[in-house]
Copies of this chain bind each other. A is one copy, B any other.
Amino acid sequence: MIQFKAPLQDINFLINDVFDFQTHYKDIPGGEEASPEMVDAIIGEAARFSEEVLSPLYQVGDKEGCKFEDGKVTTPPGFKEAYQQYMEGGWQGMTSPVEYGGQGLPQSLGLIKSELIGTANWVWGMYPGLSQGAMNTIYLHGTEEQKQTYLVPLTEGRWTGTMCLTEPQCGTDLGQVKTKAEPNGDGSYSITGTKIFISSGEHDFTDNIVHIVLARLPGAPEGTRGISLFIVPKLKVEADGSATEANGVTCGSIEHKMGIHGSSTCVMNFDGATGYLIGPENKGLHCMFTFMNTARLGTSIQGIGAAELSYQGALPYAKERRSMRALTGKKSPDKVADALIVHPDVRRMLLTQKAIAEGGRAMLYYAAMLSDKMLAAHMEGDMKAYDAWDDKLGFLTPILKAGMTELGYEAANHGVQVFGGHGYIQEWGMEQIIRDTQIAKLYEGTTGVQALDLLGRKILLGRMKSFDAFREVVNEFIKTHKNTAEMKPMIRTLKRAMLGWRINTFRIALKAKKNRDMVGSASVDYLMYSAYIVMAYFWAKMADAAHTSIKKGENVDFCTAKIQTAEFYYDRILPRTRGHASMMMKDPETLMQMEEDHFAFL
């Protein structure tokens, strides 16, 4: 079993030395509450909860899984009790508006909380995570009455929420949604249809569950323009807020999955359930996708957490397990063999995990700051500023979501590889991380879908505006650091990478004008290529902050390791861009020329 330890030094290094959250919080509503002491206390408490309560439940959740019987779902032993503690601690409403029962703290702090929870036990964290999605939707699009009725109990954690999008015939392509919503004549609707893959659709944490459901009104236009959004509670809510009567929503079964066994993945049957329209008619997809960027940031945490947790599992093993001798001669001549960590390739795997976890975390925290700004603009009603921040965040979102889940998955694989054959044995807990992380590349938009979003929508449709904005941030950093002796070599490489990124992006855009298939054919290589360059910027930024601390004589060992990890990243990960750059520029023809019937002759 892996005992998770919160990487508090790494977190503090980012929020203090690299990004200076305190200055950032000065302009953020709720930021005044986030004093250094408050931030410390919250992170410390979330760390304790994650280490002591959630981490010990991680393997139990996998082994016991969710049980389904007679329409009821029983979560793994200990999950419910942990949720009770979470609810009582007021964690669910930490970043929610004060007027609906929340504490109004910045989104970025919420993401750090989610990171700690999600690293210790991603699967457990999915339950409150889904509630958060429902809460955001109701907050942004619900009427005041809907907020009082549903948002308050969700914020308090007394109820949980779900997002009901997928149906058997469609996941990505939500225009195919068939679930029907018939008006009841009293302002409510009768919802009928089947939704699948509904995480937290049914469980034993709370009595009531608030489903946010995509459905079609009678006579609605076909495709994505005819979909509306509804609130459908599991139990009907009375005027006094109590809820006991069933509302025609039942769980038909739960899925048998590769991993995340402790998360209930439900088939939900809506059989004339009473629902309430949320947001305008036929604008359901638009409403659903507000704050989608923030939701997808959440998913990127799964990749970052997987890298961190797998690293925390592999590192002690690499120090303890003895096998063979170092290539340069015995390191522990009195022992039967040297420790694994003397071997260069074992170090390569460990450092890859470390570079992914810490580089990803830096990207996430930067994005979290953008998310703070975006929400601030929203609360001030400045929709122009909101859109601008949303664009900036939107550019990084697919890179974080797809890039970090792919790399987190890779890191989990390295963790198993460090263990050798033992990594394949369930008791160690290493292989579970692979199985659990596999889903991160699939849900909330597969890697392929994210890549199309990045290249097709954010870059090409957005006419490179957000791309240019991000490049400007990096170029500013390059300009101010290019003559610093200790940063010079890294900055030189970064500058070259940034230049290549711009040129290659232009070339792809030109090619895409002639052949639309270029977008899809380049997309995934382009996304990974971009992710490595974005992460190179954050590693340079961390190296710079580390140099500054070392000059002040602060935290020298820790900061030396940061610089060494940055150097490793530039030497041993960033060059992967070369392969991707070459492949993404290729003509789509080699992908498109084969006739469908010629793919196999069986």
A contact residues vs B (CB 8 Å cutoff): 5-7, 9-10, 166, 169-173, 175-176, 197, 255-259, 311-312, 315, 319, 322-324, 327-328, 336-337, 341, 343-351, 354, 416-417, 420-427, 431, 434-435, 438-439, 441-443, 446-448, 451-452, 456, 515-517, 519-521, 523-524, 557-558, 560-561, 564-565, 567-568, 571-572, 575-580, 582-583, 586-588, 590-602
Contact = CB atoms under 8 A, between A and B. Distances in A.
A560 B599 CA distance: 10
B258 A431 contact: yes
Please indicate which of the listed interface residues A446, A517, A590, A596 has the most CB atoms of chain B within 10 Å of its own CB. A590
A428 to B, nearest CB: 10
Contacts of A324: 172-173
Please indicate which of the listed interface residues A256, A421, A564, A595 has the most CB atoms of chain B within 10 Å of its own CB. A421
B323 A594 contact: no
A507 to B, nearest CB: 16
A3 to B, nearest CB: 10
Shortest beta-carbon contacts, A-B, top 4: A344-B520, A575-B582, A578-B578, A258-B431
Contact of A312 (B322, B523, B602): B602
A339 to B, nearest CB: 8
Given A336-B176, A520-B327, A426 B257 contact: yes
B598 A561 contact: yes
B579 A567 contact: no
24 contacts: A169-B336, A171-B323, A171-B422, A173-B323, A258-B431, A258-B434, A319-B596, A327-B520, A344-B521, A344-B591, A345-B524, A347-B592, A347-B594, A354-B600, A417-B446, A424-B439, A557-B598, A557-B601, A560-B598, A561-B599, A561-B601, A564-B593, A571-B583, A576-B579
Q: Tell me if A's interface is mostly helix, strand, loop or mixed.
A: helix
Contacts of A564: 590, 593-594, 598
A323 B170 contact: yes
Given A421-B442, A564-B590, A579-B579, 13 more contacts: A169-B336, A173-B323, A176-B322, A257-B424, A259-B424, A345-B452, A417-B442, A417-B448, A424-B439, A435-B435, A568-B591, A577-B579, A578-B582
Contacts of A602: 5-7, 9, 312
B315 A599 contact: yes
A346 to B, nearest CB: 7
Contacts of A524: 345, 348
Contacts of A443: 421
A258 B416 CA distance: 11
A207 B346 CA distance: 42
A344 B512 CA distance: 13
A568 B590 contact: yes
A26 to B, nearest CB: 29
B348 A591 contact: yes
Contacts of A448: 343, 345-346, 349, 417
Nearest to A561: B598
Contacts of A258: 424-426, 431, 434-435
Contacts of A170: 323, 337
Nearest to A515: B328
A122 to B, nearest CB: 14
Contacts of A422: 171
A199 B390 CA distance: 54
Contacts of A591: 344, 347-348, 351, 568, 572
Contacts of A447: 417
A576 to B, nearest CB: 4
Contacts of A311: 600
A328 B520 CA distance: 10
A246 B22 CA distance: 73
Contacts of A599: 315, 341, 350, 354, 561
A349 B576 CA distance: 19
Nearest to A422: B171
Contacts of A435: 258, 435
A362 to B, nearest CB: 16
A344 B324 CA distance: 46
B420 A446 contact: yes
A601 B558 contact: yes
A438 to B, nearest CB: 6
A183 to B, nearest CB: 25
Nearest to A569: B590
A592 B431 contact: no
A413 B576 CA distance: 19
Contacts of A441: 417
Nearest to A4: B602
A348 B452 CA distance: 14
A50 to B, nearest CB: 13
B425 A255 contact: yes
A602 B446 CA distance: 33
Contacts of A312: 600, 602
A315 B582 contact: no
A7 B601 CA distance: 7
A145 to B, nearest CB: 34
A557 B336 CA distance: 60
Contact of A451 (B322, B345, B442, B446): B345
Given A572-B586, A583-B575, A590-B567, A345 B523 contact: yes
A557 B592 CA distance: 16
